[in-house]
């Protein structure tokens, strides 16, 4: 059978990107998967999208989510973008192994992209095979869903299929496709692609599209493009503060992996930190630790500066004035990030009121965690036990800090029970622990056993709810384990 798609069902796709942004993509088709099988369907998300999960099960789901069956109202395209990768500019990137099927307006009225990742070569594949291996697909599935359950804006995983063919990395691996759902796949790098070519008209066209789609309220502003920058910087400040609050390390914060919508995207070498150390990074390709935990706010600001550069000709006819205005906003990012960070940590410490001493209280907690190298997630989670006198173990260096914090809690004038509940709903007990993620991926990819993946997915989908029997899932890797490394998985 040739590559021509046969007509699939109607999904209610709308394809505004394809319709309104000609020149920003290439119409394309997925490569045919020889023997697709549905591994997992996200039933909750399917319903959110107004899709019928029963129609998407088994064979039909496998055909749809591998790209073999194209919905009749889809308009598959590969999007073009550029980006700074580890500080160096690549003028020509794009969906090298992904295909945007189209957009669905979900039950809440939000327009969401439906994208296949791993569906074969496109005009933007460069030397790559356009494919994805099962391990990285399930990894993205797990981490995206964990992030969502932790309340972090993120792209979602709708489905995972195996393709029935091998992909060749260091060794042959089962091939797979992830169906990813995003508010959009527009990146800082999408703006950079046109800005680098001096195509101001297209940068403006893209900016106008983004304002309509993501930030409609700013269209009435007198300086809409400056307002767009502010809105994106604000969304990123809030996002990065949330990452910092859960010990998340993205690992590859290139400008092509930073969304304009403010969702976390592209879960490659990302991981959660165990022992707290701001210098932590896991990615095997991030040799300098450019994207270490503690560097993330500065890198976000650096990436936003690249975004600001693309908007200069739009912000003011007078280039100097434009630069001045944008520079001011880039500086403001730091302040708004700190505001979001403190808000986040206050919440994690059970505080609702604001007190001028809170910043010091928060930074001291981080400093002690660092000195002791305690587990980041459990250091916060166990605070609830201090309230209920469950006598959790905190090293003696917390001996001064804990009474200070309790004295601060007294100022909340709130019952202990309520404080405890605040703490338990702000601090997760289950995160995707690195060794558990590896276990799940290994079983799936090497032993055809999906059970550990399904178990882990279920656990991290309820991250705040402590349940008996799951003790092993709340603990970091046993001491003496080899240092954790992640690989890009492309
Ligand atoms: P990433 O590191 O996943 O953000 O991808 C960076 C760039 O490499 C993007 O343009 C991707 O489309 C491209 N890319 C990554 N993996 C592959 C692959 N297996 N085949 C083709 N292109 C790829
Ligand atoms: Mg990417």
| Residue to probe by mutation, ligand 1, list 97, 120, 143, most atoms within 8 Å of CB | 97
At 381 the pLDDT is: 97
Cβ(71) to ligand 1 under 6 A?
no
Q: Which ligand is nearest to the CA of 117?
A: 1
Cα–Cα distance for residue pair 118/96, rounded to 1 Å: 9
Distance in Å, CA 66 to ligand 1 centroid? 18
Q: Where are the beta strands (DSSP E) in 118-229?
A: 132-133, 156-168, 172-182
Cβ(94) to ligand 1 under 6 A?
yes
pLDDT means per 10 residues in the chain (490 residues)? Answer: 57 96 98 98 96 89 96 96 97 98 97 98 97 98 98 98 96 97 98 98 98 96 98 98 98 98 96 95 88 97 98 98 98 98 98 98 98 97 88 89 96 96 98 97 96 98 98 90 71
Q: Is the dihedral of CA 164, 172, 182, 210 positive or negative?
A: negative
Cβ(266) to ligand 1 under 6 A?
yes
Q: Where are the beta strands (DSSP E) in 56-146?
A: 69-70, 77-85, 88-94, 98-105, 111-117, 132-133
Neighbours of 397 (CB within 10 A): 13
Ligand 1 atom, smallest distance to 93 CA? 10
Cα–Cα distance for residue pair 14/16, rounded to 1 Å: 6
At 4 the pLDDT is: 46
At 389 the pLDDT is: 72
At 91 the pLDDT is: 97
Distance in Å, CA 76 to ligand 2 centroid? 18
Cα–Cα distance for residue pair 393/374, rounded to 1 Å: 11
At 10 the pLDDT is: 83
At 407 the pLDDT is: 96
At 287 the pLDDT is: 80
Bridge partner residues of 253 (DSSP): none
Q: Residue 109: which residues within 8 A CB-CB, separation 6 or more? A: none
Cα–Cα distance for residue pair 377/273, rounded to 1 Å: 8
Unique residue bearing structure tokens 């394309």: 28
Cβ(214) to ligand 1 under 6 A?
no
At 1 the pLDDT is: 39
């Amino acid at each position: 059978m040739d590559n021509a798609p046969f007509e699939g069902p109607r999904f209610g796709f709308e394809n505004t990107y394809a319709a309104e942004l000609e020149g920003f993509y290439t119409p394309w088709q997925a490569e045919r998967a020889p023997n697709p099988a549905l591994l997992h369907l996200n039933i909750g998300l399917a319903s959110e999208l107004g899709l019928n999960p029963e129609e998407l099960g088994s064979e039909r789901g496998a055909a749809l989510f591998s790209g073999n069956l194209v919905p009749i109202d889809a308009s598959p395209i590969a999007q073009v973008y550029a980006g700074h990768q580890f500080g160096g500019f690549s003028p020509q990137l794009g969906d090298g192994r992904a295909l945007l099927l189209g957009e669905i307006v979900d039950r809440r009225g939000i327009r969401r992209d439906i994208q296949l990742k791993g569906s074969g070569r496109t005009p933007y594949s460069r030397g790559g095979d356009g494919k994805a291996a099962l391990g990285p697909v399930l990894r993205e599935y797990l981490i995206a869903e964990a992030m969502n359950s932790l309340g972090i804006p993120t792209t979602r995983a709708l489905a995972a299929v195996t393709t029935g063919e091998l992909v060749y990395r260091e060794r042959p691996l089962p091939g797979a496709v992830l169906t990813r759902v995003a508010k959009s796949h527009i990146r800082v790098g999408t703006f950079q692609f046109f800005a680098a070519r001096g195509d101001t008209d297209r940068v403006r066209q893209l900016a106008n599209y983004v304002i309509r789609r993501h930030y409609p309220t700013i269209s009435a502003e007198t300086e809409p493009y400056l307002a767009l920058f502010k809105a994106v910087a604000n969304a990123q400040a809030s996002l990065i503060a949330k990452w910092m609050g859960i010990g998340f390390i993205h690992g590859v914060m290139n400008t092509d992996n930073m969304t304009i919508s403010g969702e976390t995207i592209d879960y490659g070498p990302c991981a959660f930190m165990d022992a707290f150390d701001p210098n932590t990074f896991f990615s095997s390709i991030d040799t300098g630790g450019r994207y270490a935990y503690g560097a993330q706010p500065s890198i976000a600001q650096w990436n936003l500066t690249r975004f600001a550069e693309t908007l200069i000709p739009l912000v003011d006819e007078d280039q100097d004035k434009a630069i001045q205005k944008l520079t001011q906003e880039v500086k403001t990012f730091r302040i708004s990030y700190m505001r979001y960070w403190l808000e986040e940590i206050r919440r994690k410490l059970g505080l609702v009121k604001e007190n001028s001493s809170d910043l010091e209280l928060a930074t001291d907690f981080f400093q002690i965690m660092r000195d002791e190298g305690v587990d980041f997630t459990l250091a916060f989670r166990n605070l609830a036990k201090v309230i209920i006198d469950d006598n959790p173990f905190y090293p003696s260096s917390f001996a001064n800090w804990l009474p200070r914090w309790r004295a601060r809690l007294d100022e909340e004038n709130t019952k202990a029970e309520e404080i405890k509940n605040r703490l338990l709903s702000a601090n997760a007990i289950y995160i995707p622990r690195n060794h558990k993620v590896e276990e799940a991926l290994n079983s799936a990819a090497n032993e055809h056993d999906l059970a550990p993946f399904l178990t882990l997915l279920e656990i991290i989908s309820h991250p705040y709810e402590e349940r008996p029997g799951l003790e092993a899932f709340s603990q970091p890797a046993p001491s003496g384990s080899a240092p954790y490394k992640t690989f890009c998985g492309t």
